Amino acid sequence: MGKHTRREGTIDYSEEYKQFMDRLDAFHRKHGTVLNREPVLGSQRLDLLKVYKLVTAHGGCEKVTQERGWKKITLPFNFPPTCTNSAYVMKSVYVKNLELFEQEDFFGREVPVNQHDPPESNITRSREGESMQQETFRPPYFHRNCMAEFMGLIYGSYEAKQGGFVPGGASLHSMMTPHGPDAATFDKATVAELKPQYIAAGTQAFMFESSLQLQPTHWAIKESGKVQQDYYKAWQGLKSNFNPNWKPKA
């Protein structure tokens, strides 16, 4: 591998581009939404005018989605082979920045002003206290998020991961990446007596979520030497416990 270089993309800062971005920016300010003017995909800054022209030339966002054509939309950008989720990210970029604008600008439909737009990001921290659930699985369950989830541990230990997640460490689960407790935590929780348990004592974890895609730096992934290469092994010991005849207690 040669020295890492960041691709600057192929944005043509023409007068047409500037006028388009001014219209797009005005639309987002009118609707109280956030515009990412130069989203990054495959280390390239995306030209939103170019993306918009490609999608509308194929009939718009809804039609491209129905025909599963987002991969075709990415082809003119020549993303590297390592960018395996380019179609998914391209669709996410379009939906967030251009889909509503398309309805008004391309189709001529009235788009109501949204006064209750969901937050772009939020942050929370663990709080010690009693876990009181009954007849259910107590640690954080296996799930996927529509937001990118960055979690860190300041001190102590995290209840859903018995090993590998040390103070000063962090994890990043991008949008729709499945994750949950490791095998050791699962085994421990399934045999634990269902009585109130005091949790998160002597520990401090935090979680930052965002509807924007979070992109680790090249240094973090390739040069820091801090990436846990065997992270996936946390779930290797999980066994299937599905019982089609199980019913909750009356």
Residue spans of the domains in the chain: they are 15-105, 121-225
pLDDT for residue 178: 83
| Strands 129-131, 170-173: pairing kind | unpaired
Read off φ and ψ for residue 23, nearest 5 degrees.
-65, -40
Instruction: Provide the pLDDT for residue 119.
Output: 64
Q: What angle do CA 121, 124, 125 make, to 5 degrees?
A: 155
Q: Report how far apart, in Å, the C-alpha atoms of 7 and of each of 4, 89, 128, 140 are.
A: 10, 17, 45, 38
The CATH superfamily assigned to 15-105 is: ARID DNA-binding domain (1.10.150.60)
Distance CA 29, CA 95 (A): 16
pLDDT at 92: 93
Q: Is 149 annotated as a binding residue?
A: yes
Q: What count of other Cβ atoms lies within 10 Å of the Cβ of residue 241?
A: 8
> Does 58 belong to an annotated binding site?
no
Q: In the chain, where does DSSP find H-type helix?
A: 15-31, 48-57, 61-66, 70-74, 86-97, 99-105, 183-191, 218
Does the predicted model carry a pTM greater than 0.85? no
pLDDT of residue 118: 56
**Res 131: pLDDT:** 64
Distance, in Å, from the CA atom of 84 to the CA atom of 98, rounded to the nearest integer, reads: 22
Q: pLDDT below 50 — which residues of the chain?
A: 1-8
Return the pLDDT at 132. Answer: 55
Q: What's the confidence (pLDDT) of residue 102?
A: 94
Is 158 annotated as contributing to ligand binding? yes
Residue 218 CA, chain-centre distance (Å), reads: 18
Phi, psi (deg, nearest 5) at residue 135 = 55, 40
What pLDDT is stored for residue 133 in this prediction?
Answer: 56
What pLDDT digit, counting tens, does each position of 157-188 carry? 877 676 667 898 888 988 888 888 888 888 88
Pick the CATH number of 121-225 from 2.40.50.140, 3.90.105.10, 2.60.120.10, 3.40.50.920: 2.60.120.10
